[in-house]
Amino acid sequence: MDARTGKRIRLGRLLRPESGRAIVVAASHGVQSGPPAGLRTAEEIRTVFARLRRADAVMVTPGMLPLVEDAFVGRDRPGLVLHLDWKSHGRKIYTPGADGRGEGVLAQLSDLDAVAAAGIDAVMTYLYVGQRDTGLERREIERNARIARDCERLGLGLIIEPRSALEGADPDALSPEVMSLYCRIAADLGADLVKALWPGSAEAFAAVTETCFVPVLLAGGPGGDDPDDTLALADTAMRAGAGGLMFGRRVFRAPAPEAILAALGGVVHDGLDVADARRLLA
């Protein structure tokens, strides 16, 4: 026996074997930006989590686990992903760093031995590259490499979300060239899955997915009020080579989270077009 078996079993809870793809619901926004609409109170959190059973996995923070752990107990339940990092990048309220450099800071929220003991299937960490201070980038590479090796040792899945440290200042931060660079770095460091922002077009996203040799999960970004927009984005991403979705607000803010998950499952796992998937919203 070795940890590779554990990693394979855990990743099998995230990536559906029939399609090799995953729909992960990100429900961990609070640790970075405060209480989000739809998950503002303990009651709202419990109510939403009861409606996420169609997800392949759900991502939570360490502090949320006692509140929602029952949502993961049982055979017909989502996989469990832990949001491993806190970050100050891109925060819209009470933003630190008045010097305007905008490079942000990160902190790890748990050690990986505790993560494995809690029965978690995978962790998600950030990888920020392109800092003006090259020492920051070196430390980010070292930190992610250490996490990757610990995940290998413990049989945990690893999702890396690579980002440009200068997204707010550099107009090329979401170019296919920059995104291909940092997504490939994440894969080569040892990510099992890479989470990527939408670069603005199917052509640009395809340039990223074709050069990253592990599945790329599309980040959902803002949204949730318009199911048609969510399904259209998912369909376009899958046709551009996505390995799945990591949608948060587009699911937990939806009027019926279970219905949007059923429709997204039709697109991601069954290859339905938007018109056919829309019928699953009823």
Tell me, what amino acid is at 277?
A: A
Q: What is the DSSP letter of 19?
A: T
Residue corresponding to tokens 């018109």 = 275
Q: Is the pLDDT of residue 234 over 80?
A: yes
pLDDT at residue 1, as a whole number: 84
Cα 204 to chain centroid distance, Å, stands at: 19
Pairwise CA distance, residues 153 & 28, whole Å: 25
Residues recorded for the chain? 282
Examine the pLDDT at 267 and tell me if it is beyond 60.
Answer: yes
pLDDT at 74: 94
Determine which helix (DSSP H) or strand (DSSP E) holds 176, and give its type and residue range.
helix 176-189
Percent of residues, the chain, with pLDDT higher than 90: 84
DSSP classification of residue 110: S
Average pLDDT of the residues of the chain: 94
* C-alpha gyration radius of the chain: 18
Res 102: pLDDT: 57
Q: What is the CATH number of domain 3-281?
A: 3.20.20.70
The answer to whether the pTM exceeds 0.85 is yes
Q: What is the pLDDT of residues 76-135, one digit of tens each?
A: 999 999 999 998 877 777 776 645 455 678 899 999 999 999 999 999 999 999 988 889
Mean pLDDT score, 214-243: 94
**pLDDT at residue number 48:** 97
Q: What is the mean pLDDT of residues 215-239?
A: 94
pLDDT on residue 224: 77
**Domain limits of the chain?**
3-281
- Tens of pLDDT along 242-264? 999 999 999 999 999 999 999 99
* Exposed/middle/buried for residue 259 (C-beta within 10 Å: 0-12, 13-18, 19+): middle
Contact assessment for residue 278 and residue 231, using Cβ atoms and an 8 Å cutoff:
yes
What is the spatial distance between Cα 200 and Cα 204, in angstroms, rounded to a whole number?
A: 7
Residue 78 DSSP SS3: coil
